[in-house]
Structure 1
Amino acid sequence: MASSHFVLLAILSSALLVVHSPAGTLAQTPAAPAPSPPGPLNFTGILAKAGQYTTFIHLLTVETQVAKQIDNQLNTSTEGLTVFAPTDNAFNNLKAGTLNSLSTEKQVQLLLFHVLPKYYSLQSLVTVSNPVRTQANYGLNFTGLANTNQVNVSTGLVETLVNNALYQQSPLAVYQVDKVLLPPELFEAPAPAGSPPPTSTASSGGSNSTTTAKSPTSSQNTDSGANGLKFWYGSVVGGVAICMGMLIS
C-alpha cells in the first residue's frame, strides 16, 4: 500500500515538472506572423476581375503598350494615378470604324486621355480646378455636388457620369465610365484646307456694272465712225458739185 502511494506521488511530481518546465512554455500557441508587405499593383488584373472591360484591356495590352506604362508609373510615382475605364458597351456604342480609323499613335493618345497623373477620390474630383490635365496632355472637366459621389466628366464632345469605383485606394483609383472619352483634338473635324473663299455679291455686281458700262462706249465708238464717214462723203459730193457749177458758168 505504501509503495502505491509512492508511485502516485512520483507521477504527480513529474506532471508538475512538465507543466512548469521551459518545454511546457514552448508548447503554447505561437503568435500570428506579421503581414507581408503588399505586392505591386496589377492594373489590368483589377479590370479583368471586375469584368466587362475586354475591349479596354485589349487596347491596353495588345494594340498598345499603355498597360505597361501605367504599371511602371504606379510603382514609381509618388502622386499615383486615376483611370477612367470605359465598359465594353461604351466601345460598342462608338460609330463603326472609329477605332480602326486611328493610327497606333492616336490609339495611345486616346487611352492616355483616360488617365490622370494623380490619385483623385470621387469627392476630390468635385472640387478640382478645371480643366484637369490628362496623360495625353488634353484636358478634362469635372462637375458635381459637394459631399456626394455624383461626378460628371466632360471632354467637350462627350459627357458622362463617373458612377462606379472599381478600385479606390492610393496610389490608384479606377472608375467606370459608360462612354468612351473622345478628345476634340483627335475627333473634331478640322476645317477643309485650301478651299476658295466664297464670291461676294458686291464683287459680282461690280463685274456686271463694268460690262454694262463698256457696252454703251462700244456703241458710241461705232456711231462716231459712221457719222464721220457720212460727213466725209457729204464733203466730197459737195466739192464735186461746186466744181461742176464753176465749169458750166
Structure 2
Amino acid sequence: MMDIRTKLVMLFLVTFLSVSAHVSAQSAPSPLPTSTPTRTNITAALEKAGQFTFFIRLLKSTLVGDQLNSQINSKSNQGFTIFAPTDNSFSNLPPGTLNSLSDQQKIQLIQFHVLPTVISLSQFQTVSNPVTTQAGDSSEDHFPLNVSTSGNQVNLTTGVNTARIDNTILSGSKVVIYQVDQVLLPAAMFQSSAPAPAPAKPEKAFSAAAADTPTSSNGATVDTSAGIPLRLHPVTIGSYIAVAVAAFLALLY
C-alpha cells in the first residue's frame, strides 16, 4: 500500500494538471467573426442621393439594374461608368417620349447611359471618341457618344442633344455614377429623318372627260365601240358628201 506521502504527491499532481488545463482553455483566443463583404447596389445609391426616380424606375423595369449589380459584384468584371439623368431632365422630354419606345428600345436607352469601364473625371480628357456604351454600335448613325471637356466641365454629345456632368453620386473601384442634366438621346432612336421631297406638279392638267375619250394624232375622235378603231379623215368625209349630192341631183334630173 502507498504511504501518505505518496498519496499527497499524486493528489497534488492531479490537481495541478487540472488547473493548468482549465487556465489554458480560458486563455485561448476565440476566433474572429468572419465579415460579409459589402455589395454595391446601384439603385440603392441613387435612391439615397434622391432626384433619380425616373431613372431608377427604368433600371428596375428593364432589369438592367439587376444585371449591372450582378456584374459589378463579380470578381471578373472591370466595372462600369453610369450617367444618371435627374428627374428634371426626364420631365423636360416631349410628352409621351418614353411611352413611344418599345421594351427593347427602353433597354437600349438605359444601356446608352452605361460605359463598360470605370472612367474618372480626369480621364475624360484623354478618351477616344466616340466612346463605347453598353448599347453597342457607336457608329455615327446608331449610338455615338462623344466626350468634350473644358477645364473641369465634361460634356456628352449624342448627335441629338448635349448633356453636362454636374456631380459625382458614387465613386468606387468597380463603379462610378455621375449626375447629368439631360437624358442622353441616341441618334438611332431620336434623330429626325430628312423631310420627304414635295411631289412634282404636272405640266398640264387634263379633265376627266378628256382623259376618258381617246383621240387620233390629227385630232379626230376615235370610235372604240366595235373593238377596232375607225379612223375617218376629214377629206374622206367630204368625198362621201359630194357623191351623195351628185346622186341626189341625178335622181331629180
Give the corresponding residue for 1:139.
Answer: 144
**Unpaired segments ≥5 residues, structure 1:** 1-32, 245-249
Q: Deviations over 1:105-164 (max 9, x none)?
A: 22211111111111111222232221112111123111113xx32111011112111121
Give the corresponding residue for 2:7.
Answer: none
Give the corresponding residue for 2:46.
Answer: 47
Cα offset, 1:87, TM superposition: 0.5
Q: Deviations over 1:14-57 (max 9, x none)?
A: xxxxxxxxxxxxxxxxxxx9xx7852222122212211112211
8 Å contact kept, 2:144–2:187 = no
Q: Which amino acid aligns with 2:243?
A: W
Cα offset, 1:216, TM superposition: 4.1
2:220 aligned counterpart, secondary structure? helix
- 2-structure distance, mates of 1:225, 1:174: 95
1:108 aligned counterpart, secondary structure? helix
1:64 aligns with 2:62: yes
- 2-structure distance, mates of 1:159, 1:165: 18
- 2-structure distance, mates of 1:174, 1:218: 83
- 2-structure distance, mates of 1:218, 1:188: 57
Q: How does 1:34-183 map to 2 (within 5 A)?
A: 39-61=38-60, 63-76=61-74, 77-137=76-136, 138-145=143-150, 148-183=151-186
TM-score when scaled to structure 1?
0.66
2:117 aligned counterpart, secondary structure? coil
2:219 aligned counterpart, secondary structure? helix
Give the corresponding residue for 1:230.
Answer: 241
TM-score when scaled to structure 2?
0.65
- 2-structure distance, mates of 1:128, 1:224: 89
Could you say what the CA RMSD is over the residues aligned between the two structures, in angstroms? 3.5
2:182 aligned counterpart, secondary structure? coil
1:218 aligned counterpart, secondary structure? coil
Give the corresponding residue for 2:226.
Answer: none
- 1-structure distance, mates of 2:247, 2:183: 97
Cα offset, 1:232, TM superposition: 2.4
1:139 aligned counterpart, secondary structure? coil
How many residue pairs get aligned? The number is: 199
Q: Which amino acid aligns with 1:229?
A: Y
1:143 aligned counterpart, secondary structure? strand
- 1-structure distance, mates of 2:247, 2:189: 86
Cα offset, 1:214, TM superposition: 4.8
1:98 aligned counterpart, secondary structure? coil
Tell me: CA distance 1:104–1:168, structure 2 relative to 1, closer, same or farther (3 Å).
same
8 Å contact kept, 2:144–2:159 = no
Cα offset, 1:198, TM superposition: 6.1
Give the corresponding residue for 1:218.
Answer: 220
**Unpaired segments ≥5 residues, structure 2:** 1-31, 137-142, 222-230
Q: Which amino acid aligns with 2:67?
A: Q
Tell me: CA distance 1:94–1:225, structure 2 relative to 1, closer, same or farther (3 Å).
same
Q: Deviations over 1:61-105 (max 9, x none)?
A: 2x2211111111212244210000001111111122222222332
Cα offset, 1:207, TM superposition: 8.0
Cα offset, 1:189, TM superposition: 5.1
Identity across the alignment (%): 40
